[in-house]
Amino acid sequence: MRIHKISGLNCPEAGAVAISWAEGCETPARNFAREHRLPIINELPGWRGLCFCLQAGGWVLKDLSGEIQTPFSLRFEARHGSRGKDPLLNAMGKAQAVLDLTAGWGGDALHIALSGRRVVSVERNPVVYQLLVQAREQLGDADLAGRLTFLHLDAAGKDFSQQLNQCLNSGDAFELVYLDPMFSDRVLKSAKAKKPMYLMQRLTDTPSDTNERHLFENAMAIAQKRVVVKRGLKAPYITDSQPQGSIKSKLLRFDLYNPL
Ligand SMILES: C[S@@+](CC[C@H](N)C(=O)[O-])C[C@H]1O[C@@H](n2cnc3c(N)ncnc32)[C@H](O)[C@@H]1O
């Protein structure tokens, strides 16, 4: 079996992001800022928060507070190896086409794709999405990259199903829809040791119950056979209704729901 690893480093204290660029990259960086209504660093004198910077080698995140010196850049690494028990893949069952509604740094999507399944993974944060697309483009494995699609959409939106169909342009059907909307307390407490996750928390909105409810409703409406929700081992269910089953590991639980 193959395993993956994501490497990166940064630890910002500010939630907001300003855009900057290196020489020769101004036009695409300005276009990105305009498209996503993000401030340009020159407009924020004395800015000491996160900076999303376009350089010749691609986008990187920098922490201008100086606390963390190394810029963060997402990398997907695909390797062969043994992982022993694999609750995430067990929860996927026989599904060959998976829709992941909460991409994050793409670790789960990549792991599912490494098992040979096709994954469409949705992310609403434009900075996170841009880094996902870049990491996919830099993958050395064309087959693997071909099984991974990232989309920039709000998966909790009312019109999400229609938007999804327009993006995929094929009325693709998904046997299984996967959700991982939450940050566990454990991740929060060990923030310094898990810099990519800590950075994600600084970049993305605080998880809300309404967002989770709408994500779950959309997942149940789209999935043909199963919805899988990743939770902390002792976290409450995402909804009032009980799942049909759960697959557990030491720290995590994958709740399984059958759409009606
Ligand atoms: C805990 S992270 C997911 C981690 C991911 N499973 C991984 O392996 O890296 C949650 C992600 O879901 C995204 N998210 C939350 N609500 C969303 C929504 N309504 N639509 C799309 N993405 C959403 C957040 O921006 C964040 O990047």
Query: What pLDDT digit, counting tens, does each position of 153-194 carry?
Result: 999 999 999 999 999 976 679 999 999 997 655 544 544 546
Tens digits of per-residue pLDDT, 92-107?
999 999 999 999 999 9
* Domain range for 38: 7-63
Give the pTM.
Answer: 0.89
Pocket test for ligand 1, best of 76, 114, 123 (most atoms within 8 A of CB): 123
Ligand 1 atom 13: the closest Cα is on which residue?
102
Q: Is 17 in the same domain as 130?
A: no
Is 194 contained in some domain? yes
pLDDT of residue 15: 46
Ligand 1 atom 3: the closest Cα is on which residue?
104
Cβ–ligand 1 contact at 8 (below 6 Å): no
Strand order in 148-152's β-sheet? 148-152, 118-123, 97-100, 176-179, 226-232, 252-257, 245-248
Provide the domain count of the chain: 2
What's the mean per-residue pLDDT of the chain? 86
Angle at 114 between CA 111 and CA 116, to 5 degrees: 125
Cβ–ligand 1 contact at 12 (below 6 Å): no
Q: Is 17 in the same domain as 119?
A: no
List the CATH number of the domain containing 173.
Answer: 3.40.50.150
Q: Is 232 in the same domain as 179?
A: yes
